[in-house]
A and B are shown apart, each in its own frame.
Chain A
Amino acid sequence: MTVQAHPDSSHEEHHPRLQHHFETMEQQHEASQLGMWLFLVTEILFFGALFLAYAFYRWLYYDAFIAASHHQNILLGGINTAVLIFSSLTVAMSVYYSQTNRRKGLIVMLILTMVLGLAFLGIKAVEYHEHFEHHLFPGPNFQLPDAPGLAAQAQMFYVLYFFMTGLHAFHMIIGLGIYTWLLIRAMKGEFSSVYYAPIEIGGLYWHFVDIVWIFLFPMLYLIGRHY
């Protein structure tokens, strides 16, 4: 869309957050929004290569992938899914509160989001710990006692599992960093209905990381289970 010129913008009020190279707050907001969407496109491709590898090896080593997914802790995975879905709600609320100038609500929602994010990482750590104890970490100590013949191929499942969930957890940690920064700025009262782009694009990022998990959970926990 073409930007409207403001040839006589000098008498217009300049928001302190308007950067010098933009004409209006609206243009600046739309630019940062589009930037975040494009970044998320690159993220889809980033995870996409791993999804391709998963699809390929699942097709190649079907039985081993079924056997391996029976070692997943479906309860903890399920709780984590719920935690993330709930955090998506708090993120959406944080955007709503910033748009409607309610600073206290915004701060509460940002804190809640971070608490939920930390809870997810804590539960994930418990799961990782279980995998280590059961010798499910890929490498020389890898064991699959119920189906030793499939161990080598099941190891491929766990390579993908640790890589994909690890990369996802890394994105969660980045997200927590972003939310810390947003929280500090929110407490300083920098956001308002005119300027809430950081809350919105931070939210886009958080939602994206949630959606990745929504795909990872069935792939790594559920679809092998009903056989």
Chain B
Amino acid sequence: MTTAVLDPNHPLESPRKNYLNREYGVLSWLLTRDHKRIAILYIVSITLMFFVGGLFAVLMRLELLTPQGDLMTSDTYNKMFTLHGVVMIFFFLIPGIPAVLGNFLLPIQIGAKDLAFPRLNLLSWYLFMIGAIGTFVVVMLGGLDTGWTFYTPYSTQYSNTHVTLVTLGAFITGFSSILTGLNFMVTVHRMRAPGLTWFRMPLFIWALYGTSIIQILATPVLAIALLLLAAERVLRVGIFDPSIGGDPVLYQHLFWFYSHPAVYIMILPAMGVVSEVIAAFSRKRVFGYTFVAYSSLGIALLGFLVWAHHMFVAGISVYSALIFSFLSMFVAVPSAIKVFNWTFTLYKGSVSFQTPMLYALGFIGLFAIGGVTGLFLAALGLDIHVHDTYFIVAHFHYVMVGGVVMAYFAGIHFWWPKITGRMYPEWWGRLAALIVFLGFNLAFFPQFLLGYLGMPRRYHVYVPEFQVLNVMSSAGASVLGVGYLLPLVYFIWSLKFGPKAGPNPWGAVGLEWTIASPPPTENFHETPAVRWEAYDYNAFEEAQRDRAGTP
């Protein structure tokens, strides 16, 4: 384990009062406006959602062990994959990194005392919880079977499950996402510490800024699409209804106008976390910092121009399909810039392989596979061949689970000492990272093969030839499950028994490492001045020595 690089007599060591123990009692949490406490509220609720969503996946993989349907009916299976998708996407992947790590770190990394609108931040969490509880109510009432995409006219005319309630839940949760993005954007614009210019900001902040752009611009379109869908279902009049000349494909356009950029809401913050972790454990400035910063904005903007690649077989014109295919390949450019720059950062760096770094390296490999298979899918001919097969399922799980979840774990391990003031057990951390990586590949690589061979997604039965690959996938899923449960156990253990972490256990650069762990409620006793470029180890450590020397 690395030791703190700061002077051991530093005045910030072991303060008596911090944001965790300043106040006690349930109300001090439920009514808090402290961004750090709100991040803790999110971490608890999002972890719960992650395991609930995972439970649906476990049931699906159990059913798919055998070619015939022997655990559940096709109706139940429809509900399983729908709820897995809704819970994981709307309640884990989209809020995950921004709401937990972003909330905790954004003000600290830019040297502010809090987000610009603390009350709005708390409201975001309540909106999130209303949506989440609504979804739980739907699970109790019997579930939902439309798929997480709520495609019309199935969702408006044929499904007899609780579509209205779930769409309203997603609508409300959408506002939580919009308000978080708005809060982040205003904070980055108006509350940076003196000296922290745009191109001195940590890359995690750039990534969150790109994410906020998407949250602000895309989410309202989903909100209105879901509102129209709910109105159509309740009032039996609506603009997607073919009986009055409505067009269901319009729904798909509105839905994907949000939901394609939404995958960048998930992956951009993940890329930000990986940039931070790679820089910290290579002890080097991120190679091509400016390019990585701009590529976050590039992804955010290009992400808006590719939505119809989800609709190549939905009856759109050949010309628009061609254009969307071309633009979809284009979006690979900024993503590739990031991957190449991370790799160059490792080159000749002092690389050490602590748990966060293992997850970050896993991210790079798995995201590369997920990204390249994305290019296969952007190609019109191949997309038509593998459309709605397990190839798609494998592709987006490589990006979402192999990418976003890996980065989430990298970030949680990296900042755990800052959040709680305690170290997690390093050996167990590395073991869990290895188990997650192996389990993930065993679970999802066979699905590429299954999809390429023609196994369609969303069926609970399949031809017997596919059983071997499906059993491999289910086995991998259980290994993955163990890999996810381990951190839950040792993180809780570390809260009481973990060794105390100093202000900067990793020797990393950044304002969050200049304050105590856990931080005091106001983050900084006096507004800090930033005199170093991002990830400039020499200037940062010099500034720290200066500060420690002059009380």
Contacts and interface: CB of A to CB of B under 8 A. Distances in A.
B117 interface: yes
Interface stretch (B21-29, B192-200, B274-282, B486-494): B192-200
A21 B189 contact: no
A32 B500 CA distance: 39
Interface stretch (A37-45, A67-75, A184-192, A216-224): A37-45
How big is chain A's contact interface, by range?
A: 35 or more
Contact of A3 (B191, B247, B257, B526): B191
A42 B239 contact: no
A3 B228 contact: no
Contacts of A52: 254
B190 interface: yes
Interface in B217-270: 217-221, 223-225, 228, 231, 235-239, 243-247, 250, 254, 257
A226 to B, nearest CB: 24
Contact of A50 (B112, B113, B224): B224
A4 B239 contact: no
Nearest to A61: B245
Interface residues of B, number: 52
A58 to B, nearest CB: 12
A159 B245 contact: no
B297 interface: no
A53 B190 CA distance: 36
Contact of B194 (A2, A20, A61): A2
B538 interface: no
B190 A27 contact: yes
B4 interface: no
Contact of B220 (A20, A46, A152, A153): A46
B185 A27 contact: no
B522 interface: yes
Contacts of A38: 182, 185-186, 216
A3 B220 contact: no
Contact of A160 (B115, B221, B239): B239
A56 B251 CA distance: 12
Contacts of B526: 7
A8 B509 CA distance: 27
A53 B495 CA distance: 53
A57 B239 contact: yes
Interface of B: 107, 112-118, 120, 178, 182-183, 185-187, 189-197, 216-221, 223-225, 228, 231, 235-239, 243-247, 250, 254, 257, 522, 526-527, 529
Q: Which 5 A-B pairs have the closest CB atoms?
A: A46-B220, A21-B113, A21-B114, A138-B237, A45-B220
9 contacts: A2-B195, A3-B194, A7-B526, A21-B107, A43-B220, A46-B221, A60-B247, A139-B237, A152-B245
